[in-house]
Amino acid sequence: MKKILVLNGPNLNLVGIREPEIYGVRGYSELVDYIRSCGESLGVEVDVRQSNHEGVLIDWIHEALNVFDGLVINAGGYTHTSIAIMDAIKGVGLRAVEVHLSDIRIREPFRRLSYVGKVCERSFIGRGFESYRLALEYLTLGDSR
């Protein structure tokens, strides 16, 4: 069975509370349940984690080497600022897919740059929870889109 690590960065724990007009009204526990359900339907083991700390996310990426078959990452605000997370993903060489609940391409100009996306095979953005399903499908079934 494939194992996929799903990492969520800063403030994702506030989904459903923080700016619901942008991120939706469903809460973080619902997101985790949705991701796990998608993994189960694909026959994939998923490990979902969230941290507001850049170093913790980097440590988890390093620890994923030789343990997981792929990485789905929503780096939150670190998407636009963290060369260190970009380097960690590049360094471990895991297949990686970037996800975002909102469409960063049409938000504030500073959100349009994604360092994380530069080292990911694909990005699924602006599709709410479905971005995660698409990422898991991509890593397990290949690119059908």
Q: What are the pLDDT digits (tens) for 38-81?
A: 999 999 999 999 999 999 999 999 999 999 999 999 999 999 99
So what's the pLDDT on residue 137?
97
Burial class (CB in 10 A: 0-12, 13-18, 19+), 34: middle
Q: In what order do the strands lie in the sheet with 95-100?
A: 45-50, 3-8, 70-74, 95-100, 122-125
Of 135 and 112, more confident: 135
> Out of 23, 28, 132, 138, which one is annotated catalytic?
23
> Out of 34, 53, 78, 100, which one is annotated catalytic?
100
Q: What are phi and psi of 101, to 5 degrees?
A: -70, -45
CATH number at residue 22: 3.40.50.9100
Total domain count for the chain?
Answer: 1
Query: Three-state SS for 60?
Result: helix
Look up the domain containing 108 and give its range: 3-141
Mean pLDDT, the chain, integer: 92
Q: What is the mean pLDDT of residues 75-98?
A: 96
So what's the pLDDT on residue 103?
83
23 is catalytic: yes
80 is catalytic: no
